Amino acid sequence: MVREALILLSENSLARRVATGAPGARTLARRFVAGETVEDGIAAARRLNQAGMSVTLDYLGESVSQRAEAVAAADTYLRMIDRIAEERLDANVSLKLTQMGQDIDDAFLRQNVGRILDRARDVDMFVRLDMESSRHTQRTLDFHRGVWNEGYRNVGVVLQSYMRRSMDDARAVSALGARVRLCKGAYQEPAEVAYQEKAEVDDNFVALMKVLLTEGTCPGIATHDEAMIRATRQFVREQGIASSACEFQMLYGVRRDLQTALRHQGYKVRVYVPFGEAWYPYLMRRMAERPANLMFVVNAVLAESPLRFLVRNRNQS
């Protein structure tokens, strides 16, 4: 119930206005969002590189309906790519096609994203196409196959283990030789297209992980679930797969202890670093994915509220 409520809140415009206007809201968001500007994202990437982590930078935004807004978002990505290249950071970029104009016009989308793919290819940088809700799944995969067939090899996609179709998609994308980021999924989806029980989502995650590691190209195993990480490490060990054949991917500000531990154990770890003003829906989905994230925010709010003294006194009594 909590997960469903938070996902609904992430899509509610009134809740967004209230939350983003609340005192201290941006301070709380900075745990999971690097900031609002390209330079904020670059600074976070620099710090993570110094700690031995690779980075994916993401400019937050989705469901754009105006061409000028989509063009401005692509321009931000061009600046981001240039800054990564200038500083020679170990980083790539990730984008949502609805932010680039997918719901406006297909030709416009191709032209807008093409600018990013071209600039990234010029500096030998990888671009990840994020996966959004199920109504965009096929269109995103079709777009990816289209640019792949045009000769772009610096582009990959995301697959979600809660989607019933993902096994077929994993085999199809792996056959191309493209790179996949595997995650569980963070949208509210109907039962006919997505598994509803955690056990089913987890079982499919493990099955997809095995296919991507044996048939795919350098997959990103994106999870903070220690059971999924253990399953991946066990499979890699049992199959004699080199640790360099994949990477673990985690979100900025989430399970930093686990990120560090995996890095010390010799695994490549990539941290997904979001930035931008559109942080509210992103933050709500992170809360929905992991209850511990919600408790972190609740504790932080209490620490800054007039009730903090009551909570502290109660805990000490």
- Quote the domain boundaries for residue 181: 33-278
**86-96 pLDDT per residue, tens:** 999 999 999 99
**117-150 pLDDT per residue, tens:** 999 999 999 999 999 999 999 999 999 999 999 9
Q: Tell me which of 58, 119, 128, 130 is the catalytic residue.
A: 130
Residue 302 domain-assigned (yes or no)? no
Torsion from C-alpha of 137, 103, 142, 277, nearest 10 degrees: -70
Residue 233 domain-assigned (yes or no)? yes
Residue 10 domain-assigned (yes or no)? no
* pLDDT the model gives residue 274: 95
- Whether 130 is catalytic is yes
Count the domains in the chain: 1
Asked if residues 89 and 50 have their Cβ atoms less than 8 Å apart, the reply is: no
CA distances from 109 to 53, 106, 240, 279, 304 (A): 32, 5, 42, 23, 44
Among 35, 128, 52, 33, smallest CA distance to 90 is for 52
Residue 17 domain-assigned (yes or no)? no
Which range among 32-41, 50-59, 82-91, 204-213 shows the weakest confidence by mean pLDDT?
A: 32-41
Question: Which residues have a Cβ under 8 Å from the Cβ of 196 and sit 6 or more positions away?
Answer: none
Q: Tell me which of 119, 181, 285, 286 is the catalytic residue.
A: 181
Residue 272 domain-assigned (yes or no)? yes
Residue 151 domain-assigned (yes or no)? yes
Residue 20 domain-assigned (yes or no)? no
Residue 215 domain-assigned (yes or no)? yes
For residue 102, give the CATH number of its domain: 3.20.20.220
- Whether 75 is catalytic is no
